[in-house]
Structure 1
């Protein structure tokens, strides 16, 4: 099911940037240039989540938040704030915003926040679609279709490489020994071949890393094994 995201910001450049990224992520995007338009939009259209800038003309984000909450108590709302607007963050959360993100922000962080807020506000049987996509840095793993993309370019991974990547990426920061990885990926029958994991990891790095000699994603923990380095 295609999710509809309302992007509300008085700067057209920012709206266009967010829209282009979210459309590529599989969302449908509608736009509003101020809070007044946003309130009307929420009244007239089906919207799954609102990204709401604080500083806007005609009607600012906090007033729009108040108006939207009168229309819907459950509408997921993420506020956009500048670094100096700490009081606006607190006010927004007190008034019912679900989350906030500080400018400047990365598109990856925004997408992660959107999925988190949607997951919290979506009935359990509708969250499967959101849970199917695992995003770590520039890596996207579709757990349903087994597709892996880096910088939106699809990769051709072997089944073993895919299983290693998923195992590590699902728990960033956790250290896996070679034996644990081999057992998880290939089963106990192959535990005597645990050093072969090094070859699979080496091949995987060549496919996902910008510089395999200095990996960003799969880090070696010397004397133990490997861990995944990036959270989102």
Structure 2
């Protein structure tokens, strides 16, 4: 997942970049809104529905509401917790897939690939959802 980190403070931008890269994100940086827009517009053709999380020193309710109304998906005030930021970013990794339960079942089945007798116990019930029906051999 690519992240555009924008901050006028070099030290905060460097910290964000370091931490996000350590967690596997591809980070592009900008020092201000103008540079951020330029970089975002260059990659707009390649990426659609990009989640935007604002990190800002403004903490008033009106600032939060305005940021969300202008298109931000989330808003965090500084100082911020890196753990909380990463948790919020991780929440957007499946932004393009609205079939949440199906995605989780697919991941669960792939993790259970080494135990196919358990994996196939997760049955798809067409038009309803899923059910777990497992009986151990010999019982």
Residue correspondences, number: 105
- After TM superposition, the runs of 4+ consecutive aligned structure 1 residues lying more than 4 A away are none
**Deviation of 1:83 (Å):** 5.3
| Residue equivalent to 1:21 | 19
Query: Taking CA–CA contacts closer than 8 Å with sequence separation of 6 or more, which of the two structures ends up with the larger relative contact order?
Result: 2
TM-score by length of 2: 0.64
| Residue equivalent to 2:5 | 7
| Residue equivalent to 1:77 | 52
Query: For the aligned residues, what is the CA RMSD?
Result: 2.9
User: Could you say what secondary structure the match of 2:72 adopts?
Assistant: coil
Rounded to whole Å, the distance in 2 between the matches of 1:116 and 1:107 is 14
Q: Does 1:105 align with 2:80?
A: yes
**Deviation of 1:116 (Å):** 1.2
**Deviation of 1:80 (Å):** 1.1
Rounded to whole Å, the distance in 2 between the matches of 1:81 and 1:12 is 14
| Residue equivalent to 2:133 | none
**Deviation of 1:88 (Å):** 1.2
Rounded to whole Å, the distance in 1 between the matches of 2:24 and 2:93 is 14
| Residue equivalent to 1:42 | 40
User: Could you say what secondary structure the match of 1:87 adopts?
Assistant: helix
TM-score by length of 1: 0.40
> Where does structure 1 lack aligned partners over 5 or more consecutive residues?
49-71, 133-143, 145-232
Rounded to whole Å, the distance in 2 between the matches of 1:21 and 1:9 is 15
